Amino acid sequence: MTPGALDPITLAVLKGRLEQIADEMDATLFRSAFNPIIAEARDASHGIYDAITGATLVQGKSGLPIFVGVMASAVKTVIDKAAIDGDLADGDVYLFNDPYDGGTHLSDFKLVRPIFYNGGLFCWIASVGHWHDVGGAVPGNYNPQATECYQEGMLIPPVKLYAAGVFRRDILDIVSANSRMPVSVYGDLTGQINALDSGARRLAVLIDHFGADTVTQAMKELTARAAQLMRAQIAALPDGTYSAEDMLDNDGVTDAPIRVALDLTIAGDTLTLDFSRTAGACAGPLNISRSTTIASCYVALKHLFPSVPANAGVMAPIKFVIPDNSLLAATRPKPVGGYTETILRIIDLIFLTVAQADPSRAGGCCYGTINALSLAGHRADGSRWVMFSFFGGGHGGHPFGDGLNHGNAPISTAMIPPVEILEAAYPIKFTQWALRPDSGGAGAHRGGLGAIYEIELLADAAEFFLFGERGRNGPSGVLGGEAGARNRFTLLRRDGAEEHPPMTSKWIGVKLHRGDRLRLETPGGGGWGPASDRDPSLIVRDKREGYAT
């Protein structure tokens, strides 16, 4: 043990206590949010961040990993604003959703709060959650034809929701007035405030018990150990440059593929991720900010190196080359609403390149799209309803077996909203919710199966919006494995007619009538290894279980 270091038992206890605080903040919001995307799907996250740099110190385990990197950027944005304004006070809470200074998209609202102890700034805590509707041209905000962020929703810069503990009602009035679902906004915001209150109380108890110096030392050691462990993992890989690329279907505006490319270089204990060959910023909403790109790389690396603790130390040995004004470093007002689709390509590329360096870490690509679907209409009493949801698909085959059937995207630990919740909340019913046969990529270890969802409208009228991907290129297999099935979307009219998206995986403002059905057939995962090497008994099982026909 180095001189002055904490003994291992104290460090382990503090690690667990700090993680429990973040987990409790997660649980507080999940149990109180009005919006099913937070309450059921857990599209939110909480963490503890460095007082000076905003770097992630501790992250809740139940929220979305993609928020780890972007929330560090969000906290740094608030730190910089507070330094300029010179008015930071105990009891302040900042609110904002600017995706260019905090990552992701306009639906994700961040609350950032300073934690003071004995009159000095000790750290920051933060909450982020996906709000139900934040204005813009499309209910639910996934506008596949947006050409600027102002068509995607309201954009709120960092402002004080609480100033020295005093609530600013005017801020709540502004954000509520810009949502089709103001009651949902109020409930989700209140849940996030309560989550931060919980975190502040628990931190105060912890610091009182162990002392500020000891807790600070533990935070620094946990970060340093993560960096050390990450360097050791990288150093164990063979030096070299490994390359991969993939295509997005289109940007929703121009029907042409968009390239995402990565050259990954391992040199000793450092890793360079060079995205120079990726396309420039596009017209439609598949752009992402630089902070979102870095956050998605963090998620991929944590999948590949799961033993490394989840804090800023993971990124210490990583260098980035992300050209300005590219698809992966967009600036305002380039639209960014469909960020989920682009970051899934980044994760795939990191998986594919690291697999070249170490085949034992190889895995087929996952289904690669959240298939964001919004349905909206009015009830008989004139009230507005907006259903926004995302859907699952197959994960890639891997060295130890077949891919996961009907899983969620690897950007998160979120859950697919339950059919019972969706049917209870909205005038729809699911006439099918099943695995999709033959959708997993063939291989020695088969890709996981996608799903078939079929949704019938029970109201007199509604409209829907679809934002998906993988309609033209199925998820890649590795080491000779085959690609998974492509995404497929069908509108089944009640008279028997069928319609398909003119942009393959994106559709906007289509009118529905009672009895019309939407069918979504999601991709399977890519296969691992040659199909000729598959165990014959598994082939028999797949046919018996209906996985293959």
pLDDT of amino acid 70: 86
Q: How far apart are CA 186 and CA 175, in angstroms?
A: 9
Model confidence pLDDT, tens digit, residues 39-81 = 988 899 999 999 999 999 998 888 777 887 789 999 999 999 9
Residues 6+ apart with CB under 8 A from 341: 248, 286, 368, 369, 370, 467, 468, 469
Residue 388 has pLDDT above 70, yes or no: yes
Model confidence pLDDT, tens digit, residues 268-310 = 999 999 999 999 999 999 999 999 999 999 999 988 998 888 8
Residues 6+ apart with CB under 8 A from 226: 308, 309, 310, 311, 312, 313, 314, 316
Residue 1 has pLDDT above 80, yes or no: no
- Tell me what the mean pLDDT of segment 243-269 comes to: 97
DSSP letter (8 states) at residue 348: H
Q: How far apart are CA 515 and CA 460, in angstroms?
A: 9
Residues 6+ apart with CB under 8 A from 348: 244, 246, 365, 366, 368, 475, 476
Q: Does the pTM exceed 0.85?
A: yes
Residue 413 has pLDDT above 80, yes or no: no
Percentage of residues of the chain with pLDDT beyond 90: 89
Average pLDDT, the chain: 94
Residue 126 has pLDDT above 90, yes or no: yes
Provide the token pair at 337.
């609403």
For residues 408, 306, 470 and 535, what is the CA-based torsion angle, rounded to 10 degrees? -90
What crossing angle do the helices spanning 339-357 and 290-304 adopt, rounded to 10°? 40
Nearest-CA neighbor of 132 among 37, 32, 26, 28?
37
Instruction: Return the number of other C-beta atoms located less than 10 Å from residue 88's C-beta.
Output: 17
- Tell me what the mean pLDDT of segment 78-87 comes to: 97
pLDDT of amino acid 3: 42
Residue 117 has pLDDT above 50, yes or no: yes
Domain ranges of the chain: 8-227, 362-549
Yes or no: say if 104 and 155 are a contact pair by the CB < 8 Å rule. no
Q: How far apart are CA 527 and CA 170, in angstroms?
A: 53
144 confidence band (pLDDT: 50, 70, 90): very high
2 confidence band (pLDDT: 50, 70, 90): very low
Provide the token pair at 497.
């007619």
130 confidence band (pLDDT: 50, 70, 90): very high
pLDDT of amino acid 513: 97
